[in-house]
């Protein structure tokens, strides 16, 4: 019986280890994949590591991640340890108050802490960047250090301290020679937890960062918009670095817990650890881009851009920096609402790339300055369909960046084209496709689909029509077993995991280029004709340089690099023509060229009241999923 129990325990442990470490193994394996796929290993290659080291944003993110983690660990460990030693000799009331305060950051949800710090820094006009992220990391690491050190202090014999003082030791000598050696296991444990928490943090860092300072978590999150296997490469590098550091720290901790007679000299390990840290930080720090001076011409040599993740060509930013002799601070957002929150918090940028309805909102709230067309000679390159759109009829405030539609990607082997033409969006409610569909996890796009399928405008303000659309989505959710996805739909459809999916045209273009069995269909009921455009906020520090960037993006070379790499349709009419021509990257790709001039296609408009209602109804739809 005991043998069976032991065997069962070993099997359970093996399963748990597999569960924990299989994703890590998966990440490492696909960092060496020869193709872009994140699910199909096609052969060994180092191309993603080469690309990673050539991408300044990734190297900078790695540098900031390691630097902030190390500094936050050292400072929080020192502060937390000193605080614990101090309150251990305090009266009961003070000790209770400090312990209670220490628990707040641990129990408080990270998003609440992040927003609180964002508001605090904004209130005091503190520019967000390296310093604010470091302060935030120190703040949330200190409680974990204290929780590790306090138990060791309670276990310590207080008579040892009195004996040291009676024998002539000074208070500082008592702390360094007596107390710290006794509680060293707790200090090392606290440092380990602090380092892990700092490396791991995303939510708080996302709210307090700025000035182009990103850690790995933020970078990976914002890059999830598009498939980029370089993420696997940089994740593998991080796994290696963290593993080495944690192994050394664990050896030091294990040694500190041994009796004095069995302890070994760990100074060489500290030296090795220090050399590893220096070997990581110094090369990464030196590899950061440094812009040439353009102060004489523009009054600044820095341009701050706020754009969607994975929404720019491989060489676009680098070429702009070299041509104009400036340093571009390039930050990413994951939604229009997050971008708007950052603006409200006082963050300053020179160029933004929001979507149509958000641009309308920003214009109405007087956030944007008019674009001086005399700086934009490449405006003539703009696709005619993108001039005079409803949210900015005279293009006074915005210049389109990318544009496209929303449609249905379908497996041509499993979905009848006649069904698509017959049912349109209602094909998602046909019983034979039950359990074989992806819905885009977006309240705006989901209600667009429902409203269009019912024959209504996606910009309707009629409450009855919106409620009818809610019922359409609720019935779909309850009867068809849809899977709600966002960016993961790209790789999933490339690998044919479902028969149909609601997809943005740029993502669809990539899917079709990777899987010849996939097609793209835009229903006759109409769709969202969207565009993301470049705008200049009134807080811009150098409008002339911002206009130079907008003009540069409209150039043929930059537009071609952008569109060919990202997959979304360019706003440059010549690039559209060439990329969709016989020699182009998207020749005969039915998703690349948006449908234009179709009366049922619409542009989203900003309507606060309707948006609030739809948000509430969408929560109800998802609650039944």
pLDDT: which is higher, 287 or 442: 442
Domain map of the chain by residue range? 58-286, 295-403+533-579, 406-528+603-623
Mean pLDDT confidence for 266-276:
60
Encoded tokens for 403: 């544009």
pLDDT band at 289 (very low <50, low <70, confident <90, very high): very low
Encoded tokens for 524: 């006759």
Least confident span in 56-60, 397-401, 564-568: 56-60
pLDDT, position 210: 83
Compute CA distances 207 → 203, 219, 285, 340, whole Å.
7, 13, 24, 12
Tell me the per-residue pLDDT of 60-106, one tens digit each, with 9 for 90 and over: 888 899 889 999 999 999 999 999 998 888 888 888 888 888 888 88
Mean pLDDT confidence for 189-216:
89
Tell me the per-residue pLDDT of 291-342, one tens digit each, with 9 for 90 and over: 445 666 777 888 999 999 889 988 899 899 989 989 898 988 888 998 998 8
Tell me the per-residue pLDDT of 273-283, one tens digit each, with 9 for 90 and over: 566 565 555 55
CA distance 444 to 431: 25
**Total residue count of the chain as it appears in this document:** 625
pLDDT: which is higher, 172 or 379: 379
pLDDT band at 559 (very low <50, low <70, confident <90, very high): very high
Name the 3-class secondary structure at 85. helix
Of residues 374, 373, 380, the one with CA closest to residue 398: 373
CA distance 211 to 205: 13
pLDDT band at 118 (very low <50, low <70, confident <90, very high): confident
Tell me the torsion sign for CA atoms 385, 391, 397, 403.
negative
pLDDT, position 91: 84
pLDDT, position 291: 44
Contact 603, 530 (CB under 8 A): yes
pLDDT band at 214 (very low <50, low <70, confident <90, very high): confident
Question: Which helix (DSSP H) or strand (DSSP E) does residue 409 occupy?
Answer: strand 406-411
Q: Which residue has the tokens 């024998």?
A: 167
CA distance 575 to 381: 9
Q: What is the CATH number of domain 58-286?
A: 1.10.3720.10
pLDDT band at 268 (very low <50, low <70, confident <90, very high): low
CA distance 211 to 60: 12
Compute CA distances 583 → 402, 528, 578, 588, whole Å.
21, 29, 7, 10
497 φ, ψ to 5°?
-75, -25
pLDDT band at 575 (very low <50, low <70, confident <90, very high): very high
Scored b (16 or more CB within 10 A) or e, 511-550 reads: bbbbbeebbbbbbebbbbbbbbbbbbbeebebbebbbbbb
pLDDT, position 288: 47
Q: Which residue has the tokens 């409209």?
A: 554
pLDDT: which is higher, 34 or 69: 69
pLDDT, position 491: 84
What percent of the chain shows pLDDT beyond 70?
A: 90
Least confident span in 200-214, 225-239, 368-382, 510-524: 225-239
pLDDT at 510 over 60: yes
pLDDT: which is higher, 504 or 259: 504
pLDDT, position 88: 84
406-528+603-623: same fold as 295-403+533-579?
Answer: yes
Contacts of 255 (CB under 8 A, 6+ apart): 263, 264, 266
pLDDT: which is higher, 377 or 258: 377
pLDDT, position 262: 63
Contact 389, 535 (CB under 8 A): no
Name the 3-class secondary structure at 348. coil
Encoded tokens for 338: 């997050």
CA distance 163 to 184: 20
Residue 484, beta-bridge partner list: 439
Phi-psi region of 531 (alpha: psi -120 to 50; beta: other; left: phi over 0): beta
* 406-528+603-623 homologous superfamily: Periplasmic binding protein-like II (3.40.190.10)
pLDDT, position 357: 94
Q: Which string of DSSP letters, residue by residue, matches 479-516? A: HS--EEESTTHHHHHHTT-SSEEEEEHHHHHHHHHH-T
pLDDT, position 267: 62
pLDDT, position 518: 97
CA distance 510 to 589: 9
The pTM of the full predicted model, rounded to 2 decimals, is 0.80
Compute CA distances 319 → 56, 240, 291, whole Å.
13, 32, 12
| Topology classification of domain 295-403+533-579 | D-Maltodextrin-Binding Protein; domain 2 (3.40.190)
pLDDT, position 602: 95
**How does the average pLDDT of the chain come out, rounded?**
87
pLDDT at 346 over 70: yes
Mean pLDDT confidence for 422-446:
94
């Amino acid at each position: 019986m005991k043998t069976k129990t032991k065997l069962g325990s070993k099997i359970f442990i093996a399963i748990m280890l597999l569960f924990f470490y299989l994703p890590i193994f998966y990440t490492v394996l696909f960092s060496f994949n020869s193709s872009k796929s994140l699910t199909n290993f096609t052969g060994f290659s180092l191309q993603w590591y080469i690309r990673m080291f050539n991408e300044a944003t990734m190297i900078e993110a790695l540098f900031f991640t390691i630097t902030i983690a190390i500094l936050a660990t050292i400072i929080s460990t020192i502060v937390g340890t000193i605080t614990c030693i101090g309150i251990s000799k305090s009266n009961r009331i003070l000790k209770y108050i400090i312990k209670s305060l220490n628990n707040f950051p641990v129990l408080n949800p990270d998003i609440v802490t992040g927003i609180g710090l964002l508001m605090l820094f904004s209130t005091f006009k503190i520019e967000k960047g390296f310093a604010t992220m470091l302060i935030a990391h120190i703040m949330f690491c200190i409680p974990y250090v204290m929780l590790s050190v306090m138990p060791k202090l309670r276990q310590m014999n207080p008579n040892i301290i009195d004996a040291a003082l009676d024998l002539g030791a000074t208070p500082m000598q008592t702390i360094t020679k007596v107390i710290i050696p006794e509680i060293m296991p707790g200090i090392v444990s606290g440092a380990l937890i602090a380092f892990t928490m700092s490396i791991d943090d995303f939510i708080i860092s996302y709210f307090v960062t700025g000035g182009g300072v990103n850690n790995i978590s933020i970078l990976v999150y914002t890059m999830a918009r598009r498939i980029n296997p370089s993420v696997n490469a940089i994740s593998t590098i991080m796994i290696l670095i963290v593993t080495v550091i944690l192994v050394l720290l664990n050896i030091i901790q294990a040694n500190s817990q041994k009796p004095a007679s069995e302890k070994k000299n760990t100074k060489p390990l500290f030296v090795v650890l220090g050399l590893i840290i220096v070997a990581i930080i110094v090369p990464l720090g030196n590899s950061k881009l440094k812009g040439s001076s353009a102060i004489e011409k523009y009054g600044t040599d820095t341009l701050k851009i706020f754009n969607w993740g994975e929404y720019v060509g491989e060489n676009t930013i680098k070429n702009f920096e070299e041509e104009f002799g400036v340093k571009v601070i390039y930050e990413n957002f994951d939604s229009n609402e997050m971008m708007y929150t950052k603006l409200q918090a006082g963050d300053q940028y020179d160029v933004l790339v929001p979507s149509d309805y958000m641009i309308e909102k920003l214009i109405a709230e007087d956030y944007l300055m008019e674009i001086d067309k005399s700086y934009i000679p490449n405006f003539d390159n703009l696709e005619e369909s993108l001039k005079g759109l409803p949210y900015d009829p005279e293009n006074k405030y915005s210049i389109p960046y990318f544009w496209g539609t929303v449609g249905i990607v379908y497996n041509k082997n499993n979905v009848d084209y006649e069904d698509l033409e017959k049912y349109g969006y209602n094909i998602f409610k046909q019983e034979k496709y039950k359990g074989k569909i992806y819905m885009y996890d977006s309240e705006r796009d989901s209600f667009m689909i429902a409203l269009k399928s019912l024959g209504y405008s996606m910009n309707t303000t009629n409450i009855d029509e919106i409620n009818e659309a809610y019922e359409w989505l609720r019935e779909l959710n309850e009867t068809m077993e849809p899977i709600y996805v966002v960016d993961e739909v790209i790789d999933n459809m490339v690998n044919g995991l479902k028969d149909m999916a609601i997809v943005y045209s740029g993502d669809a273009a990539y899917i079709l280029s990777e899987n010849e069995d996939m097609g793209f269909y835009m229903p006759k009921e109409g769709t969202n004709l969207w565009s993301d455009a470049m705008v200049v906020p009134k807080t811009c520090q150098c409008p002339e340089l911002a206009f130079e960037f907008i003009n540069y993006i409209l150039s043929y070379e930059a537009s071609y690099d952008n569109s060919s790499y990202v997959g979304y349709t360019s706003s440059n009419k010549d690039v559209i023509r060439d990329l969709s021509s016989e020699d182009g990257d998207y020749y005969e790709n039915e998703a690349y060229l948006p449908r234009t001039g179709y009366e049922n296609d619409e542009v989203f408009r900003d309507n606060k009241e309707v948006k609030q209602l739809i948000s509430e109804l969408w929560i109800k739809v998802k609650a039944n999923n």
